[in-house]
Structure 1
Amino acid sequence: MTKQLPPLFREKMIDLLGEDEFEQFLASYDEPRSFGLRVNTGKVERDDFVAKSPFHLTAVPWASEGFYYEEGERPGKHPYYHAGLYYIQEPSAMAPVELLAVKPGERVLDLCAAPGGKSTQIAAKLQGEGVLVVNDIHSDRVKALVKNLELLGVRNAVVLNDKPEKMLNVFEGYFDKILIDAPCSGEGMFRKEEEMMGQWERHTVQEFAAMQRELLGQAALMLAPGGRIVYSTCTFSPEENEAQIAEFLDKHPAFDVIPVDGFSSGRPDWLREPWCEADAYSERAKAAVAGTARLWPHRLRGEGHFVAVLGLEARSLGAGGKASAKSSAGADDFVSAAGKRSGRHALRGKGRAEAPPSTGVSLEPLEAFSGELLRSEPFAQRRLVCYGEHAYASPAGLPELHGLKVVRPGWYIGALHRGRFEPSHALAMGLRLREAKRALSLASSDERALRYLKGETLEVAESEILRDPQETKAAKGYCLVCIDDHPVGWGKWLDGMLKNEYPPGWRWT
Structure 2
Amino acid sequence: MAAQLPGTFTERMKELLGTEYEQFAETYKETPYAGIRVNTLKITVPELLERSPFDLEPIPWCPTGFYTEEGARPGKHPYYHAGLYYIQEPSAMAPVELLVIQPGDRVLDLCAAPGGKSTQIAAKLQGTGLLISNDLHPDRTKALAKNLELYGVRNGIVLNESPERIAAAFPGFFDRILIDAPCSGEGMFRKDEDMVKQWEPGTPRKYADMQREILLAAADSLKPGGTIVYSTCTFAPEENEGSILEFLAGHPQFTAVPAGGSGWFAPGLDGLPEAARLWPHKVKGEGHFMAVLRHDGSAAAPGSDGDADTALPASVRSKGGSAARPVKAGGGKDREAKGGRGQGKGGGARGQRPQGSGIDAALAAFAGFCREQLGWQPAGFPVLFGEHLYVSPLPSSALDGLKTIRPGWYMGQLRSGRFIPGHPLATALKPSESGRSLSLDSTNGEAVSYLKGETLAVPEQRLAVQPGSSPKGYVLVCIDGFSAGWGKWQDGMLKNEYPAGWRWT
Give the Å deviation of 1:136.
0.4
Matched, 1:453 2:436: no
Residues 127-176 of structure 1 deviation map (CA, whole Å, 9 limit, x = unaligned)? 00000001101001110001100110100000000111111221100000
Which residue in the other structure is 2:278 paired with? Answer: 295
| Paired residues for 1:239-278 under 5 Å | 239-262=238-261, 263-268=265-270
SS at match of 1:400: helix
Residues 370-397 of structure 1 deviation map (CA, whole Å, 9 limit, x = unaligned)? 01111344x12x1111121111010157
Give the Å deviation of 1:264.
0.2
Contact 2:336 2:382 in 1 (8 A): no
Contact 1:155 1:430 in 2 (8 A): yes
Matched, 1:477 2:479: no
SS at match of 1:155: coil
Matched, 1:388 2:371: no
Contact 2:338 2:396 in 1 (8 A): no
SS at match of 1:384: strand
| Paired residues for 1:334-345 under 5 Å | 335-339=334-338
CA distance in 1, matches of 2:99, 2:5: 33
CA distance in 2, matches of 1:33, 1:166: 37
Matched, 1:72 2:71: yes
Matched, 1:187 2:186: yes
Matched, 1:170 2:166: no
SS at match of 1:404: coil
Residues 15-52 of structure 1 deviation map (CA, whole Å, 9 limit, x = unaligned)? 1111x211010011112211110000011111111111
Distance 1:21 1:299, change over 3 A: same
Which residue in the other structure is 2:31 paired with? Answer: 32
Contact 1:209 1:239 in 2 (8 A): yes
Give the Å deviation of 1:246.
0.6
The amino acid across from 1:264 in the alignment is: A
Contact 2:9 2:201 in 1 (8 A): no
Which residue in the other structure is 2:328 paired with? Answer: none
Residues 336-366 of structure 1 deviation map (CA, whole Å, 9 limit, x = unaligned)? 43549xxxxxxxxxxxxxx993746442221
Matched, 1:326 2:332: no
SS at match of 2:239: coil
Give the Å deviation of 1:399.
6.3
The amino acid across from 2:25 in the alignment is: L
Contact 1:2 1:29 in 2 (8 A): no
CA distance in 2, matches of 1:389, 1:469: 31
CA distance in 2, matches of 1:236, 1:451: 45
Contact 2:8 2:201 in 1 (8 A): no
Distance 1:325 1:502, change over 3 A: farther
> Identity of paired residues, percent?
56
Matched, 1:402 2:387: no
Gaps of 5+ in 2: 316-322, 326-330, 340-354
Give the Å deviation of 1:112.
0.3
SS at match of 1:105: coil
Contact 1:232 1:307 in 2 (8 A): yes
Distance 1:399 1:129, change over 3 A: farther
CA RMSD for the aligned pairs? 2.0
Matched, 1:366 2:366: yes
Aligned residues: 471
Which residue in the other structure is 1:347 paired with? Answer: none
SS at match of 1:109: strand
The amino acid across from 2:293 in the alignment is: L
Q: Which moved more, 1:331-340 or 1:223-232?
A: 331-340
Which residue in the other structure is 1:214 paired with? Answer: 213
| Paired residues for 1:119-158 under 5 Å | 119-158=118-157
Which residue in the other structure is 2:294 paired with? Answer: 311
The amino acid across from 1:253 in the alignment is: P
Which residue in the other structure is 2:349 paired with? Answer: none
CA distance in 2, matches of 1:187, 1:299: 16
SS at match of 2:226: strand
CA distance in 2, matches of 1:120, 1:361: 33
Give the Å deviation of 1:229.
0.1
Distance 1:387 1:450, change over 3 A: same
SS at match of 1:324: helix
Give the Å deviation of 1:120.
0.4
Which residue in the other structure is 1:96 paired with? Answer: 95
CA distance in 2, matches of 1:104, 1:135: 20
Contact 2:477 2:483 in 1 (8 A): yes
CA distance in 1, matches of 2:67, 2:382: 40
Which residue in the other structure is 1:280 paired with? Answer: none
Matched, 1:427 2:425: yes
Contact 2:365 2:418 in 1 (8 A): yes
Contact 2:338 2:401 in 1 (8 A): no
Contact 1:170 1:399 in 2 (8 A): no
SS at match of 1:489: strand
CA distance in 2, matches of 1:396, 1:404: 13
Which residue in the other structure is 2:115 paired with? Answer: 116
Residues 403-440 of structure 1 deviation map (CA, whole Å, 9 limit, x = unaligned)? 11011110111011221001110000011111011111
Give the Å deviation of 1:441.
0.9
Matched, 1:498 2:483: no
